Structure 1
């Protein structure tokens, strides 16, 4: 009997597979509202962020629709084309937790080893973010430049490529869709203020404060993307 290769599945994909199978079998009919995130998390024995990632994947694939202020509803797929989420795509909320670990240390390293040119690059990036935000433009370019400037100050090429890889994954459909619900002018103002605190700690050459400021930024980012759907902006 031929054997098939075994591929470890990301947790959110395992959850999405279960929900997709139930929908396909008719357990949840088109138009039906799925159970709340907290109820699904309890039944599956997983965290609510993992359930949220699974629901976003199902929405990208056209199985459900998130209606802010109401819930998640099953779509009629009889006349819908199918989309797929790459098996290699990281879950957005899991990605933020990983970034917390790595970028907390890169901020500390930047405080210890950064040079004036690195500090100038960080401040330019934050200024760029602020200018774009004031023009109602999503300041993703400045955001990326900010985090890359920090890791480049560490002087470690492996860390630079790692953080750049984090950012490449942010352009995927899962993070893009999730950001569409929770990124707005207010959330970006908060993020810019958090960036200012990180830069201040790095320029002060205080690695402990820099690490703590980056951890706080990532924790608050995670909270913003984990907020109740009722607080999400209208799509």
Structure 2
């Protein structure tokens, strides 16, 4: 299969290509350790989140190892490819792009449904939130209730296209790239914060306030991205 033109490939994959080339330079990764994300971002002319996504792509490829609290290191066996390594199409979309799309679309949806939310739908949404709260309190990751919460708001629109779209965008979190990012940078504290943000969305819907509902949804999605992308590794 012919390679995709560079300009049509995801930006983080283009940056991963550049990092591979830099890793071949003898003085780039001193003692096997790559420069900090900030330095890489400045050198490559992109944002730190894009660099982080590129590094995770290289980790999935087996070329580097991300050690929390220490840095990113070249793997001694990086030249050995395995069948388990996902190809470019399997890696998934940029989490930054995905969350930007969700913020725009889910923000518009929740604003449009807030004034007309039916008591039955709100009661069901409250029950989903309660399920999420119980799982968080038990130290579990509430993936099921989280998805159900966002899906339920989309269903309030009655628009099947939007319902499918939100489900597809949400399920992108299970792509290899997004899963690895979350494995590294999410923790119990991030889910406690997310629970409070869902409460703000629910409260705004129950008040039938479209402005606050949209603001709460967009704050939540922005904060969710920042919890994965803004946390710093030492070094």
Question: When the two structures are superposed, what TM-score results if normalisation uses the length of structure 1?
Answer: 0.89
Partner of 2:220: 217
Label 1:31 to 1:98 Cα distance change in 2 as closer, same or farther (>3 A): farther
Corresponding residue SS for 1:77: coil
User: Which of these residues, 183, 186, 200, is aligned with residue 186 of structure 2?
Assistant: 183
Partner of 2:124: 121
Label 1:4 to 1:200 Cα distance change in 2 as closer, same or farther (>3 A): closer
Counterpart Cα distance in 1 of 2:221 and 2:13: 23
CA RMSD of aligned residues (A): 2.2
What's the offset of the Cα at 1:24? 4.8
Q: Is the 8 A contact 2:63 2:79 kept in 1?
A: no
Q: Is the 8 A contact 1:121 1:146 kept in 2?
A: no
Structure 2 regions of 5+ residues with no counterpart?
none
What's the offset of the Cα at 1:27? 6.1
Counterpart Cα distance in 2 of 1:159 and 1:202: 18
What's the offset of the Cα at 1:6? 4.2
Label 1:212 to 1:71 Cα distance change in 2 as closer, same or farther (>3 A): same
Partner of 1:55: 55
Corresponding residue SS for 1:103: helix
What's the offset of the Cα at 1:184? 1.6
Counterpart Cα distance in 1 of 2:171 and 2:163: 12
Question: When the two structures are superposed, what TM-score results if normalisation uses the length of structure 2?
Answer: 0.89
Partner of 2:231: 228
* Per-residue Cα deviation, 1:142-170 (whole angstroms, up to 9, x for no partner): 10000000111112111111110112211
Matches within 5 A, 1:191-202: 191-202=194-205
Is it true that 1:16 corresponds to 2:16 in the alignment? Answer: yes
Q: Is the 8 A contact 1:30 1:74 kept in 2?
A: no
Matched residues, number: 229
